[in-house]
Structure 1
């Protein structure tokens, strides 16, 4: 787990990143800037319980490719979930919270994940653990209005102009951040439809 100090604001950007691409790097960059974070942890997961793992590249390979996408020293690429044998996001966030008292974390995800967020194990627990920043993705802009998560936690939504306040807000709290969008997707890259950009 990367080193942090009390009082810091840290974004948590997790995924299988199979493979990582410039779209992921864009989400990380937007998050750092709009949320005014001290750090962003790019968390490479051993595997996603909701996805087919037959075409999942080895963790070490995905970790290396993620590091090649990073050009900001505030971004820390990590795969600590494997060391702790953690499989679900709710467990990952509970572990992070227990080991880092006094640090302000915010969970970061692309809007393409928002529509299915209610399928994640203990999704409401995730929303009650840390604030959430949803970053716009092509074709997913309206998810923040129609998703089950958005409807359930409508009362806890921050205006995106207040995004810098999100990390220090008590959960549940979330915002949807509009901005530049990349049409790249890991699935399309794996299928050979597009080439990964560096």
Structure 2
């Protein structure tokens, strides 16, 4: 198989897999919550930085992790801890991630990393390299970035439709979901990390 080859079926499969792992639609309550706290989330920045991060990891992921002597499970544990803190914020209505960065910084941390470009999507990208041609993966990745931009750019529409009560209920519900995901991610990768010692 030519590494740069494009196959529509492979492209479609890679797109669906990445879309499910990134889960940008599931992140909308978190984005709404952060905007209500005064964080300025810039859609194009989140999309561009996500693409750059994904491409860097697609081509140099293993090298970067080896350079810092970090394995993928340790990387995933770090991401799980950040997600855990965000879930606590959503559930308890407290602020831990202070809005003290430059304007638009929230578009990068925690939106790009670890929520969009986290350990799960990085691992998935590396797995896709073994299955499909690079052309199909790159096309699937770019289309996912377009979806990310559209969702973040239009998140205010969902906010208007749900109203204040709907956003509040959704924030609490997804806070619990996010907490459960972070715990699962932490425990799964902790077991892998402990086995390697």
TM-score where L is the length of structure 2 = 0.24
Larger relative contact order (C-alpha < 8 A, sep ≥ 6)? 2
Q: Counting helix residues as a fraction of each chain, which structure ranks higher? A: 2
Greater C-alpha Rg: 2
Q: Counting strand residues as a fraction of each chain, which structure ranks higher? A: 1
